[in-house]
Amino acid sequence: APGVEIRPIHQIDGGMRFNEVYLTDVRVPVDHQIGELNQGWRLATAMLMYERVAIGTGQTGGVQHARTDKLIRAAKKRARLDSPVLRQELMKLYSAEVCQSLMGMRTRAEAQAGKTPGPGGSLGKLAGASIAATYRDLSLSIIGPGAVADEDNGRWSLEALTTFASGIAGGTNEIQRNIIGERVLGLPREPSVDKDLPFSELRVSTQRS
């Protein structure tokens, strides 16, 4: 629609993964409306569920443990596999990757059967973020100072930095835990003092709008 301006944000690593989006006097024709009027949040929630399923299940089918395999190769190259502590940590990562793959296989099977994604998609999303953090810590431990130098063209340090996004993009880990607790496990919702306030009266930072 006229008035929509998208400006890529150039990051320090040379990438452009995010954009600034400006809406100036934008008017969307009614025939472009998706769903019922004033039901935008419901559609946004559905979109987020699909997004979390996509993030949590990965792009490939079957049982996957690519991160563990990669770290094993790195450890062999540096003669680190003799460490029983490292082998145990690698086994933990392997087990987590396999479990996430199995969850992904189940989720994909449900989608193929026509089932709409539900809050269970947060399980795979949260598992993926945990796996990414474990992979980051293990990789830096195995590679050592070379990870923050320029070994392998800085690939290890770049991967270590980008893993933080796993716990933020698509909903933070804290949000996923709340969804799992409330909508999967049926636990009581966290207290909310502004639940019944209209949007115009919600607290913004430390001030009221």
Give me the domains of the chain, ranges plus CATH numbers: 38-187 (1.20.140.10)
- Cα dihedral 128/129/131/134 (nearest 10): 170
- What pLDDT, on the 0 to 100 scale, is given for residue 96? 95
Catalytic residue (choose from 51, 110, 151, 182): 51
CA distance 5 to 144: 43
**53 CB neighbour count, 10 Å cutoff:** 23
CA distance 42 to 48: 10
- What pLDDT, on the 0 to 100 scale, is given for residue 155? 83
- What pLDDT, on the 0 to 100 scale, is given for residue 209? 47
CB 119 within 8 A of CB 179: yes
- Read off the pTM: 0.78
Residue 87 corresponds to which tokens in the numbers above?
């082998």
- What pLDDT, on the 0 to 100 scale, is given for residue 204? 66
* 209 residues of the chain, pLDDT tens digit each: 789 999 999 987 778 888 999 999 999 888 888 888 888 888 888 888 888 888 877 666 778 899 999 999 999 999 999 999 999 999 999 999 999 999 888 888 888 888 888 888 889 899 999 999 999 999 999 998 878 776 667 788 888 888 998 899 888 999 999 999 998 999 998 887 777 778 777 776 555 54
Residue 51 designated active-site:
yes
